[in-house]
């Protein structure tokens, strides 16, 4: 079903057009032409995972930035800033390398956006360590909702593509990536205590951070998406005729949100307070799995499955937890998170293999199979 077309992405923000694209065009010239774009995509993603693991080691429960706790070493923030910027740069360069080596494939598009959807959680959880959950930080429940705002603004830009065939890149993306990379470096220089001080009057940095994320999503991403989709409705250029069809992709992510929120609210042992990092990882990975299936449908122009299979066992898990049938909630969360991560990796590997065979290409090499 896959159409052999370059996917159309529209970038309209000045930072991207005047600063980042020229920079990426400059960087890509230094890459060897045998380097496969998917390998660049994957390396960029691994830098974000590395950040997540590095901060999981030094700040597992997000308390390190609070007063009276052992703070994260400065070199970790320097590394985080560099790795974050590298991840962002590689994510910008992969598409340019694909055009340069004339190797743009639907597999590349899926790989890029599939890993981006999973990257959301690694990015958000790592940024959280700057403020932490102490007096001067952001509560774990607040961050849980912030994570969902980020995840939904990701799916919005894809929903838009599902309906209009064009991916409009959210403005907030480039701005937040560059800003956060700098914030990491500043944190290394001035220490986390700096973020305790108010910016002006009683406005704290953590409030600015929370406000920025939510404002970016609601003032830029949502109106842009709605505007573009409605414009498509008016001009009759949409792929899906009914409102039901158009909103279908939101069903699974929405149910995932409902399920995980029920667990947060009705958890007997207050699981989010006990294990915030693992809970975020579970939610972000389950979200990525649901989203990838949407991206596959949108690329192959097939109707998307209204319900993701993952939601079935998850309903059972949440019921076991809140009815106290399974008494050790932390163990249950760890087992379920491991299952979700493994299921998602298995899904990813399978799809990559199938598409590689279908298009007779290698996922991580520009050589053609049986060409020599």
Tell me if residue 113 is catalytic: yes
76: tokens are: 């970790």
Q: Which of 71, 113, 240, 344 is catalytic?
A: 113
Alpha carbons 104 and 240: distance in angstroms, whole number: 26
- The pair phi, psi for residue 42, each rounded to 5°, is -65, -40
97 Cβ neighbours under 8 A, 6+ residues apart = 28, 31, 35, 37, 40
286: tokens are: 């389950």
Residue 147 CB: number of other CB atoms within 10 A? 23
Given the DSSP bridges, would you call strands 198-200 and 167-168 parallel, antiparallel or unpaired?
Answer: unpaired
- The pair phi, psi for residue 203, each rounded to 5°, is -80, 115
161 Cβ neighbours under 8 A, 6+ residues apart = 7, 167, 168, 298
Q: What angle do CA 77, 51, 47 make, to 5 degrees?
A: 120
Question: Which positions are annotated as active-site residues?
Answer: 113
């Amino acid at each position: 079903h896959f159409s052999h077309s370059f996917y159309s992405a529209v970038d309209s923000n000045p930072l991207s057009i005047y600063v980042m694209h020229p920079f990426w065009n400059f960087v890509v010239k230094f890459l060897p032409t045998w380097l496969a774009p998917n390998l660049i995509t994957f390396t960029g993603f691994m830098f974000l995972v590395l950040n997540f693991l590095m901060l999981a080691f030094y700040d597992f429960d997000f308390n390190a930035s609070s007063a009276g706790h052992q703070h994260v070493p400065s070199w970790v923030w320097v590394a985080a800033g560099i790795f974050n910027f590298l991840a962002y740069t590689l994510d910008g360069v992969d598409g340019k390398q694909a055009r340069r080596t004339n190797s743009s494939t639907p597999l590349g598009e899926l790989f890029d956006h599939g890993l981006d959807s999973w990257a959301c959680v690694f990015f958000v959880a790592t940024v959280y360590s700057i403020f932490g959950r102490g007096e001067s930080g952001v509560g774990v429940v607040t961050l849980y909702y912030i994570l969902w705002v980020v995840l939904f603004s990701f799916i919005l830009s894809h929903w838009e593509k599902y309906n209009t065939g064009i991916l409009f890149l959210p403005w907030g993306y480039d701005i937040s990536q560059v800003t956060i990379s700098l914030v990491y470096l500043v944190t290394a220089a001035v220490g986390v205590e700096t973020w305790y001080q108010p910016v002006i009057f009683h406005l704290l940095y953590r409030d600015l951070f929370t406000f920025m994320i939510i404002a970016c999503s609601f003032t830029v991403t949502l109106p842009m998406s709605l505007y573009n989709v409605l414009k498509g409705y008016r001009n009759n250029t949409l792929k899906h005729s009914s409102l039901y069809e158009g909103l279908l992709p939101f069903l699974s992510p929405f149910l995932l949100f409902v399920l995980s929120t029920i667990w947060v609210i009705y958890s007997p042992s207050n699981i989010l307070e006990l294990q915030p990092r693992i809970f975020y990882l579970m939610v972000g990975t389950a979200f990525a799995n649901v989203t990838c299936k949407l991206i596959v449908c949108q690329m192959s122009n097939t109707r998307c499955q209204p319900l993701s299979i993952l939601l079935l066992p998850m309903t059972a898990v949440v019921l076991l937890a809140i009815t106290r049938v399974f008494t050790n909630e932390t163990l249950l969360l760890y087992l379920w998170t491991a299952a979700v991560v493994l299921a998602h990796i298995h899904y990813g590997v399978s799809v990559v293999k199938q598409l590689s065979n279908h298009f007779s290409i290698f996922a991580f090499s520009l050589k053609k199979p049986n060409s020599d």
